[in-house]
């Protein structure tokens, strides 16, 4: 059970580090999952309170077992997103992304790092941290300005 919560915590870390850039939406599914997970974390508590209030004020509309089921379902949605992000953050980058990762790192550090990248085999969390750093240093159009897309 502790392993599940470790993955969810890792997903929360990944969610906080994944950059909120529109240019990444067409490149990575992570951007969409992160957006919808953030949205569900903000919106779902209001829906839960609405459902509980409806049950309290209009008991004929919803009975307690249906309310409890609906509340548990809604509470599971953000957890599912965090779990997916946690699993994704621990996944190694595919071979197709390694040259792109090395090019971004080379642009940021102004040195040849391709050999080091190929030796250490970065994960998606490393990519998120690198992209976050790149967008912080180079601005919102970092990838277009450096012709990395």
Range of weakest confidence among 27-36, 39-48, 115-124: 115-124
pLDDT of residue 51: 93
Q: Give 59's DSSP letter.
A: T
Find, among 47, 52, 46, 16, the residue nearest to 34 by Cα.
Answer: 16
91 backbone dihedrals φ, ψ, rounded to 5°: -80, 140
What pTM value is reported for the model? 0.85
Q: Are 117 and 86 in contact (CB under 8 A)?
A: no
Mean pLDDT is highest, among 71-85, 110-124, 132-146, for: 71-85
3-state SS, residue 123: strand
pLDDT of residue 120: 80
């Amino acid at each position: 059970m502790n392993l599940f919560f470790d993955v969810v915590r890792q997903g929360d870390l990944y969610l906080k580090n994944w950059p909120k850039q529109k240019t990444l939406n067409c490149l990575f599914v992570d951007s969409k999952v992160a957006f919808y997970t953030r949205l569900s974390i903000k919106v779902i508590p209001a829906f839960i309170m609405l459902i509980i209030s409806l049950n309290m004020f209009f008991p004929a509309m919803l009975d307690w077992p249906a309310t409890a089921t609906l509340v548990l379902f809604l509470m599971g949605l953000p957890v599912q997103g965090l779990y997916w992000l946690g699993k994704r953050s621990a996944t190694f980058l595919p071979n197709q992304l390694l040259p792109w990762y090395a090019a971004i790192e080379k642009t940021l550090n102004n040195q040849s790092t391709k050999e080091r990248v190929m030796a250490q085999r970065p994960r998606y969390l490393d990519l998120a941290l690198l992209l976050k750093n790149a967008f912080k240093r180079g601005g919102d159009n970092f990838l277009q300005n450096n012709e990395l897309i």
